Amino acid sequence: QVQLVESGGGLVQAGGSLRLSCVVSGSTFKFIAFGWYRQAPGKQRELVAGMRVGTTTKYADSVKGRFTISCDDAENTVYLQMNSLKPEDTAVYYCNAPWGSSLWGQGTQVTVSS
Protein backbone atom coordinates (compact mmCIF):
# COMPACT_ATOMS: atom_id res chain seq x y z
CA GLN A 1 0.00 0.00 0.00
CA VAL A 2 1.42 3.35 -1.08
CA GLN A 3 1.72 6.01 1.61
CA LEU A 4 2.70 9.65 1.28
CA VAL A 5 3.93 11.50 4.35
CA GLU A 6 4.57 15.24 4.21
CA SER A 7 6.75 17.19 6.62
CA GLY A 8 8.60 20.47 6.87
CA GLY A 9 5.74 22.85 7.50
CA GLY A 10 5.72 25.37 10.30
CA LEU A 11 5.45 29.00 11.26
CA VAL A 12 7.71 31.43 9.45
CA GLN A 13 7.87 35.19 9.03
CA ALA A 14 7.18 36.81 5.70
CA GLY A 15 10.27 36.66 3.50
CA GLY A 16 11.43 33.42 5.07
CA SER A 17 11.89 29.97 3.57
CA LEU A 18 10.70 26.44 4.17
CA ARG A 19 11.37 23.13 2.44
CA LEU A 20 8.56 20.64 2.39
CA SER A 21 9.26 16.93 1.97
CA CYS A 22 6.99 14.10 0.89
CA VAL A 23 8.26 10.58 1.47
CA VAL A 24 6.61 7.93 -0.68
CA SER A 25 6.66 4.44 0.79
CA GLY A 26 5.19 1.11 -0.17
CA SER A 27 5.86 1.50 -3.84
CA THR A 28 8.63 0.69 -6.24
CA PHE A 29 7.54 3.08 -8.96
CA LYS A 30 9.96 5.71 -10.10
CA PHE A 31 8.89 9.29 -9.91
CA ILE A 32 7.37 10.10 -13.25
CA ALA A 33 4.97 12.82 -12.23
CA PHE A 34 4.13 14.41 -8.90
CA GLY A 35 2.57 17.55 -7.56
CA TRP A 36 2.12 19.82 -4.57
CA TYR A 37 -1.25 21.37 -3.77
CA ARG A 38 -2.44 23.66 -1.02
CA GLN A 39 -5.71 24.50 0.65
CA ALA A 40 -6.31 27.64 2.65
CA PRO A 41 -9.28 27.95 5.03
CA GLY A 42 -12.51 28.48 3.12
CA LYS A 43 -10.84 27.95 -0.24
CA GLN A 44 -10.58 25.10 -2.71
CA ARG A 45 -7.47 22.99 -3.00
CA GLU A 46 -5.22 24.46 -5.69
CA LEU A 47 -2.18 23.29 -7.61
CA VAL A 48 1.04 24.89 -6.41
CA ALA A 49 3.54 23.00 -8.56
CA GLY A 50 3.67 19.87 -10.64
CA MET A 51 6.39 18.04 -12.49
CA ARG A 52 6.50 15.37 -15.18
CA VAL A 53 10.13 14.32 -15.02
CA GLY A 54 12.01 15.25 -18.16
CA THR A 55 9.10 17.06 -19.76
CA THR A 56 6.93 19.50 -17.88
CA THR A 57 7.18 21.65 -14.80
CA LYS A 58 4.20 23.81 -13.91
CA TYR A 59 3.84 26.44 -11.22
CA ALA A 60 0.93 28.52 -10.08
CA ASP A 61 1.42 32.12 -11.17
CA SER A 62 1.42 33.21 -7.54
CA VAL A 63 4.53 31.13 -6.71
CA LYS A 64 6.60 31.38 -9.90
CA GLY A 65 10.14 32.42 -9.16
CA ARG A 66 9.75 31.66 -5.43
CA PHE A 67 8.96 27.94 -5.22
CA THR A 68 10.84 24.99 -6.72
CA ILE A 69 9.61 21.41 -7.03
CA SER A 70 12.07 18.53 -7.19
CA CYS A 71 12.49 14.85 -6.37
CA ASP A 72 15.11 12.42 -5.17
CA ASP A 73 14.52 8.93 -6.54
CA ALA A 74 17.09 7.37 -4.22
CA GLU A 75 15.28 8.79 -1.19
CA ASN A 76 11.75 8.26 -2.61
CA THR A 77 11.12 11.88 -1.67
CA VAL A 78 9.47 14.82 -3.36
CA TYR A 79 10.41 18.34 -2.28
CA LEU A 80 8.96 21.81 -2.46
CA GLN A 81 11.45 24.58 -1.73
CA MET A 82 9.57 27.74 -0.79
CA ASN A 83 11.40 31.06 -0.65
CA SER A 84 10.25 34.64 -0.11
CA LEU A 85 7.16 33.39 1.63
CA LYS A 86 4.14 35.65 1.89
CA PRO A 87 1.18 35.61 4.30
CA GLU A 88 -1.03 34.52 1.40
CA ASP A 89 1.01 31.31 1.15
CA THR A 90 -0.53 30.21 4.45
CA ALA A 91 -2.31 26.90 3.86
CA VAL A 92 -2.14 23.15 4.35
CA TYR A 93 0.17 21.73 1.71
CA TYR A 94 -0.45 18.28 0.21
CA CYS A 95 1.69 15.98 -1.89
CA ASN A 96 0.05 14.13 -4.80
CA ALA A 97 2.00 11.25 -6.33
CA PRO A 98 1.59 10.13 -8.99
CA TRP A 99 0.37 13.56 -10.10
CA GLY A 100 -3.33 13.38 -10.89
CA SER A 101 -3.90 10.16 -8.95
CA SER A 102 -6.06 9.68 -5.90
CA LEU A 103 -3.01 9.29 -3.67
CA TRP A 104 -2.53 12.13 -1.17
CA GLY A 105 -0.60 12.70 1.99
CA GLN A 106 -2.11 13.97 5.22
CA GLY A 107 -0.86 17.49 4.63
CA THR A 108 1.51 19.81 6.45
CA GLN A 109 0.55 23.25 7.77
CA VAL A 110 2.45 26.29 6.57
CA THR A 111 1.76 29.57 8.36
CA VAL A 112 3.41 32.79 7.23
CA SER A 113 3.17 35.74 9.58
CA SER A 114 3.36 39.34 8.40
pLDDT > 70? residue 16 = yes
Residue 54 has pLDDT above 70, yes or no: yes
The pLDDT of residue 32 is 84
Residues above pLDDT 70, as percent of the chain: 96
As a whole number of angstroms, the longest Cα–Cα distance in the chain is 42
Instruction: Report how far residue 63's alpha carbon sits from residue 75's, in angstroms, rounded to the nearest whole number.
Output: 25
Instruction: Name the nearest CA neighbour of 48 among 9, 3, 96.
Output: 96
Give SS3 for 17: coil
pLDDT band at 26 (very low <50, low <70, confident <90, very high): confident
